[in-house]
A and B are shown apart, each in its own frame.
Chain A
């Protein structure tokens, strides 16, 4: 059945399935109801993982499925639509795993005529998937296996003689099953979190190369063209990210106590001015570049000759990277941070998990739990940039101490023992991003309850909601009052629920969170692309559906309320600075979690109720909460 006969706009109406064990490629055409109910992105991933990955499956085994899912807006030519989602059971958290990436790959997959790609099984030998519109084939990747990300990307383009081919590639880290390996779109755009690169590596799938030549159809082209024009004319006034990329606000974060420093012991770094995005751009930037159809071009590309040669082909560090390898490791040399970023992209490593795992090891070293005997002579103290880079290279190669740290901070701490668990900054095993819950208490609540763990891309940034004027905008989703960032209260729980649903939404639509659309514009865009009458309520219900199914996935895997917790350090004060004395109060957090769960229609333990499953029109999911006795 083709697109027109289903009256689907914004979608291709087809899902590609690839079974690597059987080398079998099949096509599915989901009913329109599937698209209406789940929209796309995370919305596709949650029901698919729950229904198709057996309970307790090995995340690195043949039963796990790796899902690439587009949203209805992915690949539609207006700014911010270069996004795709990736999901699987995570080898880092053993929970629902999910991440998003930008670039051009997702848009190319849409142009090739696919809404999602579901990969199952394990290939006996390395392969890559080649998708050219309807032509789909598995090809030998023996010549690519072992290559770093850029050479692998280039080799594929050369193989077909087409530089417009887009790739999603893993590096050596994914091949070596490093638990926080990532997948890179077009060399620099990472689906970073939860170790999905290791899942791809376990399947011996080196890359997915795509070339598409169809223009996706939309219901109302004029509205989309108007929106594209409006954003192109106004983005410089609406957001500052175009100038230096993310990380331009680090000095402000430093003052506010929101710049994780020395493994989250502090929230401010004396030498912050040396590591900001502005400092990096002023010294090393060769250009800004961007994603599909986006004029904002918020990605920086850096080049350094010495003492660390940094290849501009790997882009440049975002805020999370600047802070994770900078302040959080006590490192003030922006050249070293740029090198760390390059090492991560070369190998296909998540910069957040890598930085926070290294800062954990640095604290262990400082406190004598790791010695030079463990590190192979490396003086792994905070602030030692050479040591940070050596250990990062070791993680990429899974050698020396790096082999232990490649397991992630939680599993590494279990091996190190002797109380080191106190210094691992993770939620459900996923290292905490560079937004401190002691300042952003709603973000902390989100970290604690989110099925994927500490994910900043779908949490609320409390500081955005401290003041008045923007509530004229947010009242459309019933967010009406400013609330202090450091407050953790019933009304904050409501904010995390109500505004949080909206924060999740871009990951269902294939839309970038950094492009400053209003809620009204987002709603109009979905309607213009799909042709479906939409409402804020309907969009937010779709997100609830996805969150609920992801939660059920975790419950089935054995997760309990004890897993909905924050690292203990966040329940203690930073040692100085403007936020000194502020903690995430455990009692307030527990109370807020219960309220949040109940707002979602779950019980106080976080188990979705039958009533809510019926209300969300997913009663089938009840069977996964109450499996039939065998």
Chain B
């Protein structure tokens, strides 16, 4: 099937539970998403995490820390981290 020209494809890994994103968003496992061009990192995080957005600590794009107003590009690899750990 030809790829929709009106979307970009990115790879996302979330270390925060994202129940509203369904089974494809398994904790710590990368998955592909098709997104509208022009979407920001913050917009993506909101879309994936929904009500769990308050658990979000730090975001990375292609291995570097990134801010929420960054506009995503095709092929970007995005990581969403909470910042509480211990043990």
Contact = CB atoms under 8 A, between A and B. Distances in A.
B56 interface: yes
A145 interface: no
Contacts, number: 91
B83 A253 contact: yes
Contacts of B7: none
Contact of B85 (A243, A247, A467): A247
B16 interface: yes
A108 interface: no
A411 interface: no
Contacts of A284: none
Q: How would you classify the secondary structure of chain B's contact residues: helix, strand, loop or mixed?
A: loop
A469 interface: yes
B28 A513 contact: no
Contacts of A378: none
B10 interface: no
Interface stretch (A10-18, A218-226, A232-240): A232-240
B45 to A, nearest CB: 12
Which of A249, A250, A319 has the most CB atoms of chain B within a 10 A radius of its CB?
A249
B16 to A, nearest CB: 6
Nearest to B14: A240
A467 B56 contact: yes
Contacts of A255: 58, 60, 64-65, 81
A245 B58 contact: no
B81 A252 contact: yes
Q: How would you classify the secondary structure of chain A's contact residues: helix, strand, loop or mixed?
A: loop
Given A237-B52, A244-B28, A469-B53, A250 B85 contact: yes
A435 B65 CA distance: 19
B23 to A, nearest CB: 12
A467 B84 contact: no
A414 B26 CA distance: 49
Given A239-B17, A240-B16, A469-B53, A514 B81 contact: no
Which of A239, A246, A252, A456 has the most CB atoms of chain B within a 10 A radius of its CB?
A252
Given A252-B79, A298-B87, 20 more contacts: A236-B19, A237-B17, A240-B28, A243-B27, A244-B27, A246-B85, A246-B87, A247-B87, A248-B15, A251-B15, A253-B85, A255-B60, A255-B81, A256-B58, A318-B86, A319-B85, A320-B86, A435-B86, A463-B83, A470-B54
20 contacts: A237-B17, A240-B27, A243-B28, A246-B85, A246-B87, A247-B87, A249-B82, A249-B85, A251-B15, A251-B81, A252-B57, A252-B83, A256-B58, A278-B28, A320-B87, A461-B83, A461-B84, A464-B57, A468-B54, A470-B54
Interface of B: 15-17, 19, 27-28, 52-54, 56-58, 60, 64-65, 79, 81-87
Interface of A: 236-240, 243-253, 255-256, 258, 278, 298, 318-320, 435, 456-457, 461, 463-464, 466-470, 513-514, 578
